[in-house]
Amino acid sequence: MKRTIFAFLASTVVALPVGAAEFTWAETTDPQTMDPHAVNSTPVLGFLNNVYEGLVRRGKDMSVEPALATDWEPIGDGEGWRFTLREGVTFHDGAEFNADDVIFSYERASDEGSDTRSWFAPISEVVKVDDYTVDFMTSAPNPIFPSSIANWMIMDSGWAEANNATLPDKENGNYATINANGTGAFKVTAREPGLRTELMPHDGWWGDVEHNITKATLTPIQNPATALAALLSGDVDFINPVPIQDVARLQSDPDVNVIQGIEARIIMLGFPHEADALKYSAETSDKNPFADVRVRQAVAHAVNVPAILQTTMRGNAEPASQLVSPAMNGYSEGLSERPAYDPEKAKALLAEAGYPDGFSFGLKCPNNRYLNDEAVCQAITGMLAQVGITATLDAMPVQNYWPELRADNYDMYLLGWSPGTFDAEHPIRFLAATPNEEKKLGSWNFGGFSNARVDELLPMIQSEIDADKRQAMLDETAKILQDEVAYVPLYVQPLVWGTRSNIELTQRPDNFFILRWVTVN
């Protein structure tokens, strides 16, 4: 063993900045597939970002930077985007990268069976201009298209065809489900789903190597206490996430470091805007108090967000006032105040709305989806009870949660939203637009919130090229959502990673762990 490491060092010492090392890390969930187009979820895309690459990628500060494309520019007056591809890039198996792979990957990723299909909804046509130039034509001007495809990963057409994996297969799986062949800095050398995935550096990678890893191993560990024990005992070098309550203990331990940041995810309360009556009320079963904006305002004032952040989140989260966090593109700076904690005002608002004695209702909550979700809901239940509205809390695992929400079995619910595009337009499209199956709008707007002006603004925001005008429209929408209390945004979910103290890495707000930024000292 020692000898092989030595031999390896001798051969690659020039390319590596510091002494080379092996690296092991643990996450709660294993990426369920190695196919970059099959599942659009953080564990999958985050992991595969180390293996596959897109035309563009996000840097350490989330800004969009060149990857497989070196340059891109709008075509004409918003008719589309032209991408110039990087030359001399090779896949892990040695194949050359060119425009055919881009066209192939577009077709693959926009197929009906692909989970990444919605990214290409604005695209009308993709044209290969030459081997290293591709045009993406859009049906309407689309200023954010390049940044919206930062997670769209390019697969080698030859490899996919040779292995019968030209389309993602969610149902039966195929070669690409357990094997990977990208252009990224790391290649998958061993994969045991649910147990262990092993990565090695890709020698022919086009970029500058910043890391010093010779081998990296990902092991999923589900039980948070076990993962923490693994980090403390040195069995792993990095865990994500660290349970919030253990931050203080880790900070006091000289052998480990805690890296904290703010995730893109906003945690909020949702209401049944459309319902005629409450479902879980002992005495108010004939009407829906939450249809009254004053009741929703009362809820916003009754929840003591600072106390939740102080106690449940241990001072590791920031309050939220809108559906996106300040780190996102299109955040409305002028609307950063969230309703103050004011139980008296909440009671007054309830009385004004005709509920001086309050009412009872049912609060639904997941218990394994967001950080401390169940504890937060419990705390909210207590706070609402203190202004007279008593919730029956029903917390359940997420696999039961979404079906419940879809069946409208709630009077109030907890939701977290992380905009995949890192843009304020994203939550408007999914959470605030009137649900419309045909136009694919409002698909997560369970409560059926509907506002004509918001619906009118959304397409205008989507196609506006002028940044200032666009921001003005986003501000207007955010103001409407605040005034109407469409949702009660609570806080931005914190991001807490733990490492051994000899590890240096960079944390990105999308919770992607990028291996090429890791240094083992």
Partner 1 sequence: MTDTQTNQAAPPEAVDKSLWQDFRESDFFYAFKRSPVALVSFAVVCILVLSAVFAPLIAPTNPFDPASLNLMNGFTPPLEPNAFTGDAFLMGTDDQGRDVFSTILYGMRISLFVGASAVLFAMVLGITLGLVSGYFGGWTETIIMRVADVQLTFPSILVAMLIFGIAKGFTPVEYRDQMAIWVLILAIGLSDWVQFARVVRGATLVEKSKDYVAAARLIGRSPWAIMLKHILPNALSPVLVIATISLALAIIAEATLSFLGVGAPPTQPSLGTLIRIGQGFLFSGEWWILFFPACTLLALALSVNLLGDWLRDALNPRLR
Partner 2 sequence: MLAFVIRRVGQSILVLLIVGLVAFSMFRFVGDPIDNMLGQERTIEDVERLRAQLGLDQPFPVQYFRFLEGAIQGNFGVSYRQGREVSEILLERAPATLELAFVSGVLAIAIGIMLGVFTAIRRNGATAHIIMAASLIGVSLPTFLIGILLIYLFSVELGWLPSFGRGETVSIGDWWTTGFLTESGRKALILPAITLGLYQMTLIMRLVRSEMLEVLRQDYIRFARARGLKERAVNFHHALKNTMVPVVTVIGLQLGAIIAFAIITETVFQWPGVGLLFINAIQFVDIPVMAAYLMLISVMFVGINLLVDILYVFIDPRLRVDRTGGHS
Distance from CA of residue 28 to its chain's centroid?
15
> What is the dihedral angle through the alpha carbons of 221, 222, 223, 225, rounded to the nearest 10 degrees?
40
Q: Where are the beta strands (DSSP E) in 248-370?
A: 256-270, 318-319, 360-366
Q: Which is nearer to partner 1, 498 or 509 (CB)?
A: 498
Q: Which two tokens stand for residue 463?
A: 């196609």
For helices 373-386 and 293-302, the axis angle rounded to 10 degrees is 110
Question: Which is nearest to 36 in space by CA: 159, 134, 146?
Answer: 159
3-state helix, strand, coil in the chain (%, to 5): 30, 25, 45
Q: Work out the burial of residue 287: count CB atoms within 10 Å of its CB; fewer than 13 is exposed, 13-18 middle, 19 or more buried.
A: middle
Q: Which is nearer to partner 2, 174 or 325 (CB)?
A: 174
Q: Which is nearer to partner 2, 177 or 451 (CB)?
A: 177
Stretch binding partner 2 (CB under 8 A), from 102-110, 168-176, 330-338, 376-384: 168-176
Q: Which is nearer to partner 2, 115 or 373 (CB)?
A: 115
Q: Which two tokens stand for residue 304?
A: 């003591």
Q: Which is nearer to partner 1, 111 or 404 (CB)?
A: 404
Q: Per CB under 8 A, which of residues 222..251 are in contact with partner 1? A: 224-225, 228-229, 232, 243, 245-246, 248-249
On the CB side of 505, CA atoms within 13 Å amount to: 30
- Smallest gap, in angstroms, from Cβ of residue 286 to partner 1? 14
Q: Which two tokens stand for residue 222?
A: 């589900």
Is there binding between residue 434 and partner 1 (CB under 8 A)? no
Binder of partner 1 out of 75, 209, 385, 480 (CB under 8 A): 385
Binding mask 94-113 for partner 2 (x = CB under 8 A): ------------------x-
Is there binding between residue 409 and partner 1 (CB under 8 A)? yes
- Smallest gap, in angstroms, from Cβ of residue 511 to partner 2? 14
Question: Which is nearest to 365 in space by CA: 346, 384, 338?
Answer: 384
Is there binding between residue 193 and partner 1 (CB under 8 A)? no
Q: Where are the beta strands (DSSP E) in 159-279?
A: 186-192, 196-201, 213-220, 238-240, 256-270
- Chain residues that interact with partner 1, rule: CB under 8 A: 224-225, 228-229, 232, 243, 245-246, 248-249, 279-280, 304, 307-308, 310-312, 362, 367-368, 374-375, 378-379, 381-383, 385-386, 390-395, 397, 400, 409
- Chain residues that interact with partner 2, rule: CB under 8 A: 32-33, 38-41, 112, 115-119, 169-174, 177-178, 192-195, 219-223, 225-227, 229-230, 232-235, 368, 397-400, 402-403, 417-418, 420, 430, 437, 440, 443-444
